[in-house]
Structure 1
Amino acid sequence: MNIVAIGLGNFGASLAKILTSLGHDVLGVDNDLNRVEFFKDVVANTICLDATDPHALRLLPLKEADAFVVCIGNDFGISVQIAALLKKFGASRVICRENSSIHLTVLNAIGVVETINPEYESARIIAQMLPLKGIQNLFSITDSFKIVDLLIPDFLIGEKRSVISFRKETHLKIIALKRNHRLIYSSANAAENDDKIEIEFKENDTLVLGGELKDIKRFLHE
């Protein structure tokens, strides 16, 4: 994808760097030349530009970019101004960082329907992870259905289970098993009869599971 990230603060720079590492064509934009210079080696492309200036903004690939992400969160007015200009100039997809209900309401009012609140999202994820011992990452599919990756629990070390028996016992689906940074098992690559193959769990394995939160909790407290 061709993505323009406007604002290279902590969030914007992190987003631009990760997208670049994933192979996307990223243009990082900031009005601070020092930031632009600092990140030029880790973001695909960077440019120093005042995105609140309509004439300067027109220099960006408004029609070619697949998405513009306005990463500015500490200045309500500037964020809305840039988003409004992008919508006016016909950017196909505008995603904005927001940091309050008022900010969100104004963005929605000018036609921005995709928003990000990284502070809230981080807090929500951490709040869900805290009671779950050993969880490294958690992804919410719905309020109750989660995908988690965790260090193999002590009670599983040395055990052998088939994928189908594991699911029957725990009501959780094994999505992947990683060992020493290598993928040992992946449900995406599994053959039709792969459920009959036994997996031996070893110390320091990482297990990726999908299922209801109540079943994940029950599994972790065996």
Structure 2
Amino acid sequence: MKYIIIGLGNFGASLSQKLSEMGNEVIGVDNNMSRVENIKDKITHAVNLDATDISAVGKLPLKDTDIVIVGIGEDKGANIMATALMKQMRVKRLISRAVSPLQETVLEAMGVDEIIHPEEETAERWAKKLNLIGVIDSFEVTGEYSIVETEIPKEYDGLSLEEIGLKRKYNIIVLTTIKITQEKNSIGSVKNVTQVQEVASAKTILYYGDIMVLYGNNRDIKNLLMAHEKNLSS
């Protein structure tokens, strides 16, 4: 995977380094030269430029990048401007950082794919999440086992857990499902609302677009997600 991370403060630098250590190509961007110098030997590339300047941003390989993350935290205006530019450049997947409820509302209105709250979430958790295609959220229970949220694929739509047989095929347990609905926020922009359902059983029916919460060995979870990705591309 190829990432561009804009803003190399504590969170952005840590996330950049962890994603790079996982074998990804990571380009770090910051207008502070000392931050660029501090990380240049730990990631693929580190670039000193102003991410709010459209002519400067145009020099980045945005079309070839899988995910762009705007991690600027201390300057909310620069965060919004850089995010707006990335949206204008039509990057494949855009994730931005919010440090206040109002900022989050603005980012939601702009149609940002995902919003990071680094004061609540660690860079390590986001690195693991981003490194697995199809993962919405996750946390490690032990070194080998995790709980993971992932979208229910189309081939499971309308089927029960008993019919799908995830435990039999992949040795994975579905703990529960999460229903996704939409409502408007305070400025009229549509946002997704999640509602956790009851503990899953063999009779639980899955619906395309909702979320299932999985528990299992990291290896088995990765095999399942890779199978989903293969089905999407075929």
Instruction: Classify the TM-score, shorter chain.
Output: 0.5 to 0.7
Alignment CA distance shift 1:188-1:63 (3 Å): closer
TM-score (norm 1): 0.57
Q: Which residue of the partner structure matches residue 179 of structure 1? A: none
How much does 1:74 deviate? Answer: 1.6
How far apart in 2 are the matches of 1:56 and 1:110? 22
Shift of 1:174: 9.2
Q: In structure 2, what is the equivalent of residue 163 of structure 1?
A: none
Question: Quick one: distance in 2 between partners of 1:8 and 1:96?
Answer: 13
Structure 1 regions of 5+ residues with no counterpart? 126-139, 151-172, 177-185, 190-222
User: What aligned pairs does 1:121-132 form with structure 2 within 5 A after superposition?
Assistant: 121=121
SS in 2 for 1:85: helix
Q: Does 1:50 align with 2:50?
A: yes
Residues 93 and 113, structure 2, Cα contact 8 Å, conserved in 1: no
CA deviations 1:14-66 (Å, max 9, x no partner) are: 00000100000000001111111111111111111111111001111121111
Per-residue Cα deviation, 1:88-119 (whole angstroms, up to 9, x for no partner): 11211110011111111000111113111011
1-structure distance, mates of 2:137, 2:29: 32
In the other structure, the counterpart of 2:81 is 81
Give the Cα separation in 2 of the matches to 1:54 and 1:187: 43
Q: CA RMSD in A?
A: 3.4
* Alignment of structure 1 residues 134-149 onto 2, 5 Å: 148-149=141-142
- In 2, Cα distance between equivalents of 1:114 and 1:174: 23
State how far apart, in whole Å, the 2-side matches of 1:187 and 1:55 are.
45
- CA gap of 1:76–1:3, structure 2 versus 1, over 3 A, is same
Instruction: Say yes or no: does 1:114 pair with 2:114.
Output: yes
Higher relative contact order structure (alpha carbons within 8 Å, sequence separation ≥ 6): 2
Which structure has the larger Rg?
A: 1
In the alignment, the residues of structure 1 paired with residue 79 and residue 19 of structure 2 have an alpha-carbon distance, to the nearest angstrom, of 21
Give CA deviations for 1:147-184 in whole Å, capped at 9, x if unaligned: 5228xxxxxxxxxxxxxxxxxxxxxx9956xxxxxxxx
Output the CA distance in 1 between the equivalents of 2:62 and 2:75: 23
Q: Give matches, 1:89-104, under 5 Å.
A: 89-104=89-104
What TM-score do you get using the length of structure 2 for normalisation?
A: 0.54
- Structure 2 partner of 1:24: 24
Q: Which residue of 2 aligns with 1:36?
A: 36
C-alpha distance in 2 between matches for 1:59 and 1:69: 17
Do the aligned partners of residues 44 and 101 (structure 1) sit closer, same or farther apart at CA in structure 2, a change above 3 Å counting? same
Alignment of 1:187-198 (within 5 A): none
- In 1: Cα distance, 2:52 partner to 2:137 partner: 36
The percentage of aligned residue pairs carrying the same residue is 42
- Structure 2 counterpart of 1:149, one-letter code: T
Please tell me the residue identity of whatever aligns with 1:54. Answer: I
Find the aligned partners of 1:69 and 1:188 in 2 and give their Cα distance: 25
Segments of 4+ moved more than 4 angstroms: 173-176, 186-189
How far did residue 121 of structure 1 move?
2.8
Number of residue equivalences? 146
| SS of match in other structure, 1:63 | helix
Matched, 1:64 2:64: yes
Listed as ranges, the gaps of 5+ residues in structure 2 are: 126-135, 144-213, 223-234
Alpha carbons 2:7, 2:28 under 8 Å: kept = yes
Cα 1:55–1:24 shift into 2, 3 Å:
same
Q: Is the 8 A contact 1:107 1:113 kept in 2?
A: no
CA distance in 2, matches of 1:174, 1:7: 33
Q: Does 2:13 match 1:13?
A: yes
